[in-house]
Structure 1
Amino acid sequence: MKEFRINEYLSLKLEEGETVIYVANQAFMTCKYLLLNIESKNIKKYDEISSIDEAIEFYSSEHERDKSLLEPETEFWGHCSNLQAWTDHYYDTRLLDMNLAFPLLKELSDAGDPIARKVFKEEIAKRIASGFPNVITFILEEKYIESFTVEERDFIFKLIDPLQFSKGEFKKTFPLLKILAKLGDFRAKDIFKKKLMKEMKSMNHNVINYILQEQYVEIFSNEEKKEIFDKINHEEILNLEFWQALLLLHKLSNADDLIAQKMFREMGKIEEIMPFIDPFIDWNKSQYLPSAITTLSNLKKLDLSANSLKEVPPLVYKIETLKLLLLNENQITSLSPSLGNLKNLKRLKIKNNNLNSLPREITNLENLRELRVCNNSLTNLPEHLGKLASLKALDLNNNEILTLPPSIKNLKALEFLDISNNHLSVLPEFIGNLTSLKILYLHHNNLTTLPNSFSELSSLEYLFLFDNELTYLPEEMGELSSLKILHLDNNQIERLPHSLRKLQSLEKLYLRNNNLRVLPDWIGSISCLKKIYIDNNKLSTLPNTLCNIKFLEELSVKGNCLESIPDCLIEKNSLILLNLTCNKITESKEDFVNINIFDNF
């Protein structure tokens, strides 16, 4: 690993082919690309470009997409040169991409770098005074002036002339005008409103779509919105292709354009409109559905994802033909008991909402096969959830669940269960009743033990238990005869039960960051193993039996206390990766010269 130290606070390291910046000995950021290789002695040759941010705009982003231009080590030294030049010129933010310069300068300032502390506010003021819209927008969006005093902030705003930069291309200037208007700059708000009115009047539907998509009108009052929308020739919209007109009217309706709302409701028959609902209902701010949607006797799939729904439109519960209902990425806080009316529903996804409970009527969905409610705020589950006899997949990831209802034991068809990122401290014995289970995610909980009933999960192929508080594994785990992946990273496991030798289907074993002192000899009898990761434990030796694993491809034991490794490992032709870093190996074997791992790789 190569390292280049610039000063007491700033250094760079080449790690696995990537350049990582360290601040105060803590990893801060991985460098994405090298735009220009800047040398301190040749700094003046870049005078024609006032900042790297302008160079990025000039050169486009091809440099970021093409990773084949430079070898990792060459790029590493280029980054070192750039940051050395940046430091030599007192952290001049013009010399680096703003996405690196300002976060890094802020981090150095927070870490106690006296020069960074001194120039941080000066650099903010200097770059704002430059009048480059993208940089000003970035500084304000990232709230770098929040730590400024009232007087300093007033001074900063006086440096910004909204009239000057408002003459530029609207995709560059509108984001800045919006931020300034939201921050209370009345000049910017007035200029912004006039610019929007001008664009609306132009009747360029692509521009209007862009304005609505970026929600530029939302910062204005209803009265101001009316002024803006009144500039639109609404009748001219009807000259567009049908689907274009429908889409534009729908967007205008959701932005509170009263005329567009009326036109949208009256436009065409529902049979004509429905084929075009899907392209825009996913990505806009729909809060209502036309009542005639219930007349669609064959409607089986409805996607209302990524809207602004705070509740499910009541009409949805009347579409009894539905088999798939997607409500992801909304703001829904509860579901109506009427959900139980959707008897034909097979798949229900309500990911990334604000649900804190599920209605008990959900248990009436006897045909439901897939239920995904991850990334919500659920604290418990319906008592009779086990009535969902057809359920095959249940995703509860990232909620606040403390316990599981006993009725879950009746989900005999369940093959996929994700309860990760919750607050489970105990896994109940009845988990063993889920005999069809193939995939079980339990990571990021507070589990200290596992139930003996694990032995009943004979179909289980993938088990994820990392980031818990396990200190041991029950002997019964050896009965998981179908297990292919066992992930136990970041626990406190001190030993492995002898019964695990029976896991003859196991292909991947992860035991990083535990308290293991011994890797038992029987590990060599698990013939299907391809990957073993046992980093950061307390191993002092490795068993020779590792060499008996015929198809072993990856063995990582970094961060242990090894002083040597078995000779046979050096001759193991199947190995693609052998990681021995951060151990206590001192002997030098001539056989290392002949190791062919890198040839395999």
Structure 2
Amino acid sequence: MKEFKVNSLITLRLIDGKTVLLVNGQEFKQCKMLLLNVLVESEEVEALNSIDEIAEDLDFRMETKRDFVNVTEEEEFKGHCSNLQVWAENLYDTELLHKSLAFPLLKALSENGDRFAKQRFAEEIIRRYKYGNKTVRSFLIEEGYLSGSSSDNIIDGILIPREAAFLEKIMEFGENYEIVPYFYKMAGISHNKSYLSLNDGKIRELEIRIGDDLNRIPREIENLSNLNALYISVNRLYYGNLFEEEFSLPSLKRLVIDWDSAEDIPDSFYYFPNLRCLQIKGPYERQFKPYIYFEKSGTKLAHLRELELYFLDIKKIPMEVIEKLQEKKVRISL
């Protein structure tokens, strides 16, 4: 058996021809040991930013060209030792290891008392999400690494300044956010957490809770130039004008409102001129349902394709507005 010690916590052993990675004396099984036979000084490699990009590039080229390099078990062991040694000497830079090894390994080190690894783990998650390619960003979300990031880290490390300013304003009212890949993976709006999804440093989907503290949608929502879907939850004690501050948000395509208040719903949906789907669910248990006003929006929303209004009083919507929407082939559920 051969053994190589990277530092006080990381050890590699060659056992029966197999390279085994240990963290604090325990076998580390959740990893992908990637050994690349590449020349670091080559222009082709220098154009790529991380081992992950190199691996993706090699995977693509190997589909059409079988250019395998045979190495002995001992040479492979030495390669892994060298890779991890370089990684440790370069302050746990996750660009130097494959993502499926770098992040689980950093997490394991931080859980085993490596304070520097704990600091780097938090820093690298934010940095690689902000500057990494699409594959890396998807990996971080899918594996749940961003779920542990604080709202402050999301603002300071990921969002572009204009969007960070908006989220900071929302968070002044006590809201905290967790990043998810896509809202369709959630079974409805959670009553315990607020969520957002991102794309290239911009908010793509967002949940906002309206109540005693935050009592309207801030005008600064205009800063969210990439916002595609907005989910608004209004509590039962709310009284006010949800859209008191006038704004325009052309990017929004889907608006979902869970309206539990007895307050009437104002006709301001034309603030979202390219809206395609509007879904509003009123208070199921209230005897008297809130009115919804839709006369202006019904004529101005030229791209609307779906209108779903549940547990609301629609008497204030003129019949001619409904008829015009039907003529436009809008799917209506009342």
The bucket for the TM-score relative to the shorter chain is 0.3 to 0.5
**Structure richer in strand, relative to its length:** 2
**Structure richer in helix, relative to its length:** 1
Higher relative contact order (CA 8 A, sep 6+): 2
The structure number with the bigger radius of gyration is 1
TM-score, reference length from structure 1: 0.29
